[in-house]
Chains A and B, each alone.
Chain A
Amino acid sequence: MHADPSHPLSLETDCRFLQSQADWIRRCSLRMVYRAGLGHTGGDLSSADILAVLYFAILRVDPQNPTWPDRDRFILSKGHCAASLYATLAAAGFLPLKDLEDFAQPLSPLSGHPDRTRVPGVEASTGSLGHGLPIAVGAALAAKMDGSSWRTYVLTGDGELQEGSNWEAAMAAAHYGLDNLTLIIDRNQLQQGDATERTVRLEPLAEKWRSFGWAVAEVDGHDHAALLSLFRRLPLQASKPSCIIAHTHKGRGVSFMQDRPEWHHRVPSEQELVLALRELGGERE
């Protein structure tokens, strides 16, 4: 199940494989949210493609040795998308698939937000927004100090960028020239209550990051080939941290969830789950 990034297959084969992984992550996280009666459906679906591409084609990680010192670090700053992260980690072999059934159950290590001390493969305990990027800056700095080649990736939401701590970290990353750091923004345009631009405007977002000293690329965050090609040519620019603005849709893959703010953390009914799984090609499971 785990693709070896050092032996890339053809792009077409890669993308077919990644699509099946992403669809599986979506179906799996929807089932987890349904069973637990809580979760963040919209963001789980918007980030699934990014997670699939990272874990099955890009990250140098070893599920058998999750604390391998030279592993790449992936930090999910938008910790509310824990279900899709757990599904991804299980698919990649970090935890048994059956553990996913315990998501958010009493005493489960799989809490509603990820806990690095209890879940193999989780690099940072997140949930409160604006924590991931500073931690990622620290990790990237550690690799630089050691002259190590491992890379750090962090996925934030877009609404999350309203937290000021991100901009402290943005300044520091550029100042230290952390070209081993990649920020991916899940730019699905929606936050909990409304569109980001109607809440507190983020645009012009790319210009903000450029002006902070980052190299910026924009990409369709559901296009596996485009994501792959970007990730494979990191850093975007020498001596600068890379910011990838991944344009996504909240609730991607399920027609009645897509781009609808109410699906930020709504839990599907049984009927909605069945319909959603069908749209995601899950009838065979």
Chain B
Amino acid sequence: MSELADCRQAFAETLEELMGCDARVVVLTNDSVASSNLRRIRERFPQRLVNVGIAEQNIIGIAAGLANGGKIPFVCGASAFLTGRALEQFKIDLGYARSNVKVCGMSSGLAYGALGPTHHSIEDLAWTRAIPSLTIVVPADPLETAQAVRAAFAHSGPVFLRLSRIPVPAVHPRDYRFSIGRAVVLKPGNDVTLIANGTMVARALQAAGLLEQDGVAARVVNMSTLKPLDREAILEAAEQTAGLVTIEEHSVCGGLGSAIAELVVSHKPVPVRILGVPGVFAPTGSTHWLFEHFGLNAEGIRQAALDLLGGRISHAG
């Protein structure tokens, strides 16, 4: 795999580029210029960077008002606070009102590591997924992050971009083209399917490598758009492989695994294993320690796939 990169750089560069092309683009932050990597934007577009202070309900409301006034606001701040603290504003001011606002939840999932559960954002997808009219994207690498920012800009309506600060390798070929609502198969295979998003996609690919040594051909799907879900890609995987293993840097309640299970249980019931944070507040530990602790690594994913297959490895290779 390639060297690791922080997606926030691709995020900020793309946003800066969009601001250079379109005066309607404004950036809002809740006193997180540095952690959202907005320093250059602040220098170059001081009039279009609005720091509302530490006030998340207000930042979402203000963004909705700016959108009413013709702007295209990108709201940047820690995902835990932008979603949890302002959830009702998310629901009403953005979702119900269909405001053209893009919320960029930074440092999502377990990115804050030992800072603890107040700063972990492992419920954000469950909360926001229940909001109609919202588009939710969890990009997996810098290339996809940059394209997701552009897609959010081009999309008319509210978008939640869930971003991380955990360095990740590139998982897509250079000619990859992201489009909202379309999952991508990163590795073909017909025994079992590994479906992941965000930081977990690279780990799913690693797991597929291990499974290959076990004689298991695992398909790897990057489900970077959580909402609307690419139903076709999921049902195809359910049809063509023995079952699905979902992997997310999120609670197992209400996120990617839940969304997929909801679909297949009605349309193509197959075994599903949902990997994530198992409905607990995480103990103290660095992000990488927590990933290991919860089995969110290549070995944990491999074990889940083997468990799902239960020795039924019929047509490996």
Which residues from chain A sit less than 8 Å from chain B, CB to CB? 69, 73, 115-117, 123-128, 130-131, 133-143, 145-146, 152, 164-165, 168-169, 171-172, 175
Contact = CB atoms under 8 A, between A and B. Distances in A.
28 contacts: A123-B68, A124-B64, A124-B97, A125-B93, A125-B96, A131-B61, A135-B62, A135-B64, A135-B68, A138-B61, A138-B63, A138-B65, A139-B69, A141-B50, A141-B66, A142-B69, A143-B69, A145-B26, A145-B48, A145-B71, A146-B69, A165-B58, A165-B61, A168-B53, A168-B55, A169-B62, A172-B52, A172-B55
Q: For chain A, what secondary structure do more than half of its interface residues adopt (helix, strand, loop), or is it mixed?
A: helix
A131 B93 contact: yes
Contacts of A131: 61, 88-89, 92-93
Contacts of A136: 65
A78 B180 CA distance: 36
B53 A142 contact: no
Of all A-B residue pairs in the complex, the 4 with the closest CB atoms, nearest first, are: A138-B65, A134-B61, A142-B69, A168-B58
Nearest to B101: A138
B98 A117 contact: yes
A138 B63 CA distance: 6
Nearest to B69: A142
Interface of B: 26, 47-48, 50, 52-53, 55, 57-58, 60-71, 73, 88-89, 92-93, 96-98
Nearest to B73: A138
Contacts of A172: 52-53, 55, 58, 62
B65 A142 contact: yes
B70 A69 contact: yes
A168 B89 CA distance: 13
Contacts of B52: 168, 172
Contacts of B89: 131, 134, 165
A73 B65 CA distance: 10
A168 B59 CA distance: 9
Interface centre among B48, B61, B64, B71 (most CB of A within 10 A): B61
Nearest to B89: A131
A134 B94 CA distance: 13
Interface centre among B26, B71, B93, B98 (most CB of A within 10 A): B93
A171 B26 CA distance: 20
